Structures are given as structure tokens and as C-alpha cells.
């Protein structure tokens, strides 16, 4: 769980501080702390990637939003040396988001917090990423998650984009 093949993800806060212990425990603790403070919460998960000469860097984010009060996030990063086309890369981004979202479901249900999975895929057919829209939407919805794509997918297109 929460790994890149056999290597566990290294989870960090946006400021770079390492998360000690389980990310599930960290998220549950944060949700409880924020609820006690009176915040209405929502969690959004998204992944973005950046292609370089011989590698693809990925970042996935768990964004915890406080309604009208900002938010904070947790991030693991990973790299792939495997060559892949754009469509395959978009679907891999979605699969990484789902890999993170699925184990969090029990934590979110216990704390009555909504979840959205964001895909860094444009709904406008004139953009290249649109090639993977139908598959990504089907994948996310079939897993029972709420789906958001650009321009509404800020977790992937803004938050993860800043971390990759």
C-alpha cells in the first residue's frame, strides 16, 4: 500500500517536512484536529507528471480543504524510467491517485469527509491530454469516486503540478 512498486512512498508536507508513521494515521489525525476546530472539510487527490529526456517525474497530492479557510496537503514523489505515450501517462496518473484514494476511504467515511479524485486531463478536445478523458473518467467513476477534470481539477493541475 502506498508504494511505488516495492519502494514505499516517502510522504512529505508541502514545506518538505517528512511524515513520520502511517499516512493513514496522519490524515485521520488531521481530519479530527480540523473538525474539532470547527472546519467543514473535503479531501481531493490528484497526480501530475513531467516528462524529461529519459524519465518521467510524478507527484501525487492529498489535499485537505477547509471550507472558506484554505487547506494543506501531503505529497509523495516518484520517478519512472519507462518510456510511455501521453495516454498511458495520463492513465498512470489516474491510477496513482486511485491507489492513494482507495485505502483512505475508511478514514474519510469514519470522519464523514467527502472525496474527489482529480485528473490532469482537459475536457477541451483541442488539448492533447483529452485523448485519455473517457478512460480516466470511467476508471475513477467505476471505483466509486467523484471525478473532476480540468478546469476543475485543481489538486492535479495546480497542487501536484507545483510539486512535480
pLDDT digit string (tens) for 76-134?
999 999 889 999 999 999 999 999 999 999 999 999 999 999 999 999 999 999 999 99
Structure-derived torsion over alpha carbons of residues 154, 115, 163, 127, reported in degrees to the nearest 10: -40
Coil, strand, or helix at residue 123? coil
Number of domains in the chain: 1
- Residue 6 has what pLDDT? 47
pLDDT digit string (tens) for 15-40?
999 999 999 999 999 999 999 999 99
Q: Which domain holds residue 53?
A: 3-163
Q: Are 156 and 47 spatial neighbours (Cβ–Cβ below 8 Å)? A: yes
Amino acid at each position: 500500500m502506498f508504494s511505488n512498486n516495492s519502494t514505499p512512498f516517502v510522504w512529505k508536507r508541502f514545506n518538505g517536512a517528512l511524515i513520520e508513521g502511517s499516512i493513514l494515521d496522519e490524515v485521520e489525525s488531521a481530519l479530527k484536529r480540523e473538525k474539532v476546530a470547527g472546519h467543514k472539510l473535503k479531501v481531493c487527490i490528484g497526480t501530475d507528471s513531467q516528462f524529461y529526456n529519459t524519465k518521467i517525474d510524478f507527484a501525487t497530492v492529498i489535499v485537505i480543504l477547509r471550507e472558506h479557510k484554505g487547506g494543506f496537503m501531503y505529497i509523495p514523489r516518484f520517478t519512472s524510467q519507462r518510456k510511455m505515450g501521453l495516454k498511458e501517462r495520463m492513465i498512470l496518473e489516474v491510477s496513482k491517485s486511485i491507489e492513494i484514494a482507495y485505502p483512505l476511504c475508511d478514514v474519510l467515511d469514519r470522519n464523514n469527509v467527502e472525496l474527489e479524485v482529480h485528473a490532469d486531463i482537459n475536457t477541451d478536445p483541442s488539448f492533447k491530454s483529452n485523448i485519455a478523458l473517457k478512460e480516466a473518467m470511467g476508471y475513477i467513476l467505476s471505483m466509486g469516486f467523484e471525478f473532476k477534470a480540468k478546469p476543475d481539477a485543481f489538486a492535479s493541475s495546480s497542487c501536484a503540478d507545483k510539486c512535480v
